[in-house]
Amino acid sequence: MSKPANLPQQLDHMLRQAVALQQNGALVEAEELYREMLELKPRHADALQLLGALALQSGRLPEAVELLRKSLAVNPRQAPVHSNLAYALNALQRFAEALACADRALALQAGFVDALNNRGNALAGLNRPADALGSFDRAIAVRPAFVQAWNNRACVLRDLGRPADALASCDHALALQPDYADAWSNRGNALSDMNLPQDAERSYRRALEIAPAFADAWNNLGLTQIDLGQQAEALSSYEHALAVNPAAAETHWNESLCLLQMGQFEAGWRKYEWRWERARIRSSRRSFPQPLWLGDFPLQGKTILLHAEQGLGDTLQFCRYAAQVSRLGAKVVLEVPPELLRLMSTLEGVDQLIEAGRPLPPFDCHCPLLSLPLALGTDLANIPSTTPYLFARAGAVDEWRNRIDAEASGRVKVGLVWAGGNRPHVAELRKNDARRSITFERLAPILDVPNLRFYSLQKGPAANQLADAGAASKVIDHTDALHDFADTAALVANLDLVISVDTSTAHLAGALGKPVWILNRFDTCWRWMLERSDSPWYPSATLFRQPALGDWDSVIDALRCALADTIGATRVD
């Protein structure tokens, strides 16, 4: 089409008209005008960037990125456009690119608060919370009433393990904007981190009063209802969240954990497959040309790769399925972490054992270990619960027997584990790790029960608590000699009882058929289910449950009474 002679004036008029339409919420009409302008002048920087902002406003993120980049190709010295591009890239979880864009905006306009805020969000996405905090603090120093920066600051303070400071930051945001639903929800998250679920629930409900379709707040409310022991209510909250956002992987995942906790295995295992869509786990999903097996085709004559995933305890629990898969006529190749390799050589049903990271042999199909209950139709009635299914090596058992029988002098030999791993870089795991673990000092009331000889099985940084407490006379520590789980199994085989918080050692003891008493947090891991003192997975396990969130004193009291009543006067068989 021919261009009018007065094109610059016409474009200026169209631009003013489109901006007015956009500001008044007439987005469709504004978009039509911007596109008409670009037909007349395809490299019109303002039309490109304003149409990009409109696409951003409408949630069309990839289109927004393309338009903003085109605008910057025409005029790269637009700090607000670099900042908007950073915002869009953050929303697409392309955090490294977002950080570069925010930095370019700040190079053009130092102290640009929107760019500082977007830079902070990019750094948070890159797991650099301390740097992110610095960026938010710079934004707030320039604009003290920048409510979004106060709210975002709270998120990274949680990541830094500072929930009380996060709560204060949320409260500052809410003092500036009392109806800020995001800040109310984040306030609930901080209170949840502080083990104050009733207070957290009130904050989430306030967020939902303001924004009834706030999917994240419904999801977070569900998590807090789990902390309150309200599983049915949690399922309802997850349903509300999924009605708003049916593709929310975190909510589907949380729903699966709740269903499994409640013993609703059929629905729970299906939902558990959503784990692969979660941002934290998606990158670890294995990609093979061979098909995934979920029980949907015969295995007779086929070779199947079963591969470990998630934690060591998960592998110890679910490796039991190898025998069941083998009985379907398959040749089973099992891939496990190096710490478990020697121990897993004792597992029935495995034709070939592979250390993770080593080249894989040919195979026809594959299945992650924690998908096997779904593939094999596991319910409460048919859990493969026969133990032992793992075994300590006889020679190593004999060596430990010679070593510790003299130390025990006929007393009951009890292994102790008081802390799980510590993964502070992942918010959900940091909270679970803190809740499932105790300090060695908390075990003091049981150490004086007569006729017992205690042995530490604690590995990792928490093992130092034993020396710090000066308890060497009460707890013998041979853990320097434990280099993998086969070593630990040989020691455990010589003990009469293992007392452990929810860790891989508890699973090891259960898999060996050894009596194990598990000290269990109130917001229990799904595998221990609800209101049971036994475990359908491990016949030799007894659960000592918190009666309320954080109440370890009751657990230790019950443990001491059980030791005194059933162990102190007699040996464990």
Measured torsion, CA atoms of residues 422, 125, 106, 153, in degrees rounded to the nearest 10: -60
Check residue 475 and give its pLDDT: 96
Mean pLDDT over 128-156 rounds to 97
Q: Among 8-17, 94-103, 163-172, 339-348, which stretch is predicted with the lowest mean pLDDT?
A: 8-17
Confidence bin at 48 (pLDDT 50/70/90) = confident
Confidence bin at 572 (pLDDT 50/70/90) = very low
The per-residue pLDDT of the chain, averaged, comes to: 92
Q: Tell me the three-class secondary structure of 469-503, residue by residue.
A: CCCCCCEEECHHHCCCHHHHHHHHCCCCEEEEECC
Nearest to 355, CA basis, from 333, 384, 329, 382: 333
CA-CA distance, 334 to 47, in Å (whole number)? 58
pLDDT digits (tens, 9 = 90+) for 536-556: 999 999 999 999 999 999 999
pLDDT digits (tens, 9 = 90+) for 303-331: 999 999 988 999 999 999 999 999 999 99
Q: What three-state secondary structure class fits 28?
A: helix
pLDDT digits (tens, 9 = 90+) for 444-475: 999 999 999 999 999 999 999 998 877 778 99
Cis peptide before 388 (omega within 30 of 0): yes
Does residue 64 register a pLDDT over 90? Answer: no
Contact 105, 83 (CB under 8 A): yes
Distances (CA, A) of 302 to 297, 305, 306: 11, 10, 13
Mean pLDDT over 130-136 rounds to 97
Nearest to 105, CA basis, from 152, 131, 137, 139: 139
Q: What three-state secondary structure class fits 315?
A: helix
Domains of the chain from N-terminus onward: 212-282 (1.25.40.10), 303-375 (3.40.50), 394-567 (3.40.50.2000)
CA-CA distance, 6 to 364, in Å (whole number)? 69
CA-CA distance, 380 to 371, in Å (whole number)? 16
pLDDT digits (tens, 9 = 90+) for 239-252: 999 999 999 999 99
Mean pLDDT over 338-357 rounds to 97
Mean pLDDT over 270-294 rounds to 93
Distances (CA, A) of 25 to 22, 84, 129: 5, 19, 36
- Residue 121 CA neighbour count, 13 Å, CB half: 26
Does residue 485 register a pLDDT over 50? Answer: yes
Does residue 16 register a pLDDT over 90? Answer: no
Does residue 30 register a pLDDT over 90? Answer: no
Does residue 167 register a pLDDT over 50? Answer: yes
pLDDT digits (tens, 9 = 90+) for 374-395: 999 999 999 999 999 999 999 9
Confidence bin at 61 (pLDDT 50/70/90) = confident
